[in-house]
Amino acid sequence: MAPIFSLFLAFLMVSWSNAQGPPSPGYSPSSGVSTVNFDQVFRILWGPRHQRRDQDSLTIWLDKTSGSGFKSVQPYQSGYFGVAMKLQPGYTAGVITSFYLSNSEDHPGNHDEIDIEFLGTTPDQLYTLQTNVYIRGSGDGNIIGREMKFHLWFDPTQDYHNYAALWTPSHIIFFVDDVPIRRYARKSDATFPTRPMSVYGSIWDASSWATDNGRYKADYNYQPFVGKYKNFKISGCTADGPASCHPPSVSPSGSGNLTQQQLSAMNWVQSKYLVYDYCQDPKRDHGQTPEC
């Protein structure tokens, strides 16, 4: 089996190296956002012995004793939130490596969330990037996630890539290397997060659901599971900031709308790499997701 597996991995690497990247979005929202020092913006939330800082980078890891997480010092009511991440290769089933916004500590059982999550995988499968939005909907037995899942046009274990979410009063846009991959519009107050949220990052064991709906669990024979972060970019309106504060613009016009070139890049990604859309899932009760 070993030679066959090696050939398969070689095929994956060749496929990634030959993969055509998305068309240029023509504008890079991250270019207008300065990199921030980790210690100025974040604090350790849990697993302090499972974090290491090396100049401009942060490494966190999960083993059988603990995972690790960090949290922003301040909550935000809107903004651009980005980071460069590098994932662990090999067997990572059951492991979640994430960067997200949430107010779960302030509103337990009734919180909002904007997620960028990598779902761990087995060596013969691609990593899945899950984007998700919660609106007052977790912990009460009626969890309503709004998941869209993607494969990527590169191997996220080989180098750092930039992942970001732009949260404004009118929309949430997810980016990979400044390419918009998903836009979630505010269609009503009931389907859009409006309460302040803090920024988090973490690595943890989600064996019950993360990989193939829980079929593959975290295997600690492969520990530690490592996530690497650097190039933190935050430009946001804090919860106690002035009403005149505005989040960064998604486009050069400052209008808040994606340009046609950005839309073309997003449509390209979704046509080739989208692997799950909650609005298209026939098993979902779409009465609970009226924005669909």
Catalytic residues: 113, 117
Tell me if residue 277 falls in helix, strand or coil: strand
Strand order in the sheet with 179-185: 51-54, 57-62, 225-238, 76-87, 161-167, 171-176, 179-185
Q: Could you tell me the two tokens for 216?
A: 């593959």
- Integer Cα distance of 232 and 40 in angstroms: 11
Give 55's contacts (C-beta < 8 A, 6+ positions apart): none
- Integer Cα distance of 154 and 156 in angstroms: 6
- Integer Cα distance of 24 and 236 in angstroms: 26
- Integer Cα distance of 222 and 245 in angstroms: 46
Count of residues making up the chain: 292
Cβ pair 200, 101 in contact under 8 A: yes
E strands present in 135-260: 148-150, 161-167, 171-176, 179-185, 198-205, 225-238
- Of 146, 134, 173, nearest to 30 by C-alpha is 173
